[in-house]
Amino acid sequence: MTFTSSDAPREFPRVTIAPTHAGCLAFLTFFWFFAYFNTFERIVATWFESTTFEHAVLIAPIAVWLIYRKRFAFALARRSRVDACLGLLALLCAAVAFIIGKLSLINALQQFALMSMPLFFIWSVFGLVTLKHLLFPLFFLILSVPFGEFMIPHLQEVTADLTVIMLKLVNVPVYREGWYLQIPEGLFHVAEACSGIRFLFSTITIGLLIAHLEIRSRIKQVAFMLSVIVIPILANGMRAFIMVYIGHVSNMQAAVGFDHLVYGWVFFFFVTALILMFSRLFYDGKRLPRISDESVKLRIPKKRFLASFLIIGSAPLFMLIFSSQKTFALASQTVEEQNSRVISMFAGWRPIYSGYDEYRTETLFIKGEMVIFHEIKYLTEGEKKELLTWSNRAYDPEVWSVAKSEVHEHKYANERIHYKYLVLKNGIGKSINLVYLWKVGNEFSANPIKVKSLQVLSKLALDDFGGKALYAASTANVSQERLIEALLKQEQQKSE
């Protein structure tokens, strides 16, 4: 992917910059880095902790080199008011998106918002023509955000499909169950490491660089990038097939254990070399424009620079205010200690939650049937302390299975409240009815997306910094309508 400006001259003047303006840019860069240090730290930590994103370590230095390589673009700066307004508006949207990402604890949102800020800064200060020439380097910088692991299960599925197809083509009997492949000689598992996502991301990164540096035609760029995406996926399926086939012909004496990894890496290096050679078929003599002897001084408008600085600094400032208010709210509330008291259970059931500030259980009887209530309260949220997360569950899946799952609406105090209804069963024949929902501020909902939105709005208003999970459970003799009615009455009594 490459971007050029049709109205740019074929020969560009050399760009120089006064020490004062260079100091302003350096100051803003350091301010951006240190003001958002925690997010940068999380991005870099992910690069080194996950092998999927190891290649991203090189993206930022390459992006800086690409910008330096096209520094002539700054000589084309056309500073219109429209560019300034749109660029600053986009920069403000990035700052707001960062705040929302922090408040909702969505790492990808805050990281993408952070890494898009240089792009909008260039637009607001230097104009759209300069941005067109620098769009690829700035877009390439955004690719350093560690994102895309959700693709792993899908790639595992494709790898397993391709392996089975190839084994059948060479008449090797195979039985597939999920990501497990059974052949007469043994069992193979298409693990996460076999998905090929690391190889795919690396080749896409290399492909984008080649398309930008060596290919001028847009049609050739698109065709090359499609091949760069398809070839690694097919190659990974071929690699998995080769490993299984070697295990078949060697009676599981080869392609298992350490040599399995060695063969895989040798194959990947071989395919990468082939892709690099294949890319030369698309080269069309792309070159950088010539630089003339004429020089132009790079100037940064003070008002635009100051406006950009204030917008970039607004997000960390808000988060600082939010943190102080959150600390004050936590200190001003009395939390009931659980101490060593065991949380009450019903028929061996209880919600699975962690990191909460307060956990209360109560029981009452409805027409002779016991009903148990659970209130799990989060006064504040953090990285490892969150109301809505995959590890917080309505039941222990190793003990209980869901016989029925429904979302219903209940009218209470002139409001329509949505709640979740479950019928749980375990291996020894016990069955319970269960209703639950979440509460943020004074709002109830069983919709996780709505609850996340309510949390963000409450935090933006510096009001409620966490939320509650509310549960009620009993035997099948107590209907879901009675359970939700009793649960809402219990919560109302506590609020009064």
Query: Which pLDDT tens digit goes with each residue over 220-230?
Result: 999 999 999 99
Give, as one character, the DSSP assignment of residue 441: T
> Is 90 exceeded by the pLDDT of residue 192?
no
Give, as one character, the DSSP assignment of residue 420: E
Pull the structure tokens for residue 33.
């880095």
Alpha-carbon distance of 33 to 316, in angstroms, equals 11
| 3-class state of residue 218 by DSSP | helix
Q: What is the pTM of this model?
A: 0.83
459 Cβ contact partners less than 8 Å away, ≥ 6 residues apart: 103, 322, 465
Alpha-carbon distance of 80 to 197, in angstroms, equals 43
- The pLDDT assigned to 256 comes to 58
Nearest to residue 422, comparing CAs of 410, 407, 411, 409? 407
Higher per-residue confidence, 91 vs 22? 91
- The pLDDT assigned to 313 comes to 96
Vertex 287: Cα angle to 281 and 293 (nearest 5)? 170
Mean pLDDT score across all residues of the chain: 87
Which tens digits make up the pLDDT trace of 363-399? 888 878 889 999 999 988 887 789 998 889 999 888 8
Alpha-carbon distance of 16 to 19, in angstroms, equals 10
> Is 70 exceeded by the pLDDT of residue 341?
no
Q: Return the axis-axis angle of helices 302-332 and 19-35, rounded to nearest 10°.
A: 20
Query: Are 210 and 62 within 8 A, CB to CB?
Result: no
Which tens digits make up the pLDDT trace of 168-181? 999 999 988 888 88
Long-range CB pairs of 325-331 (<8 Å, 24+ gap) are 325/462, 325/465, 326/380, 326/465, 329/379, 329/380, 329/465, 330/357, 330/379, 330/380, 330/465
Which tens digits make up the pLDDT trace of 389-437? 888 999 988 888 888 899 999 988 888 899 999 999 887 778 899 999 9
> Is 80 exceeded by the pLDDT of residue 152?
yes
Alpha-carbon distance of 196 to 257, in angstroms, equals 18
- The pLDDT assigned to 2 comes to 43
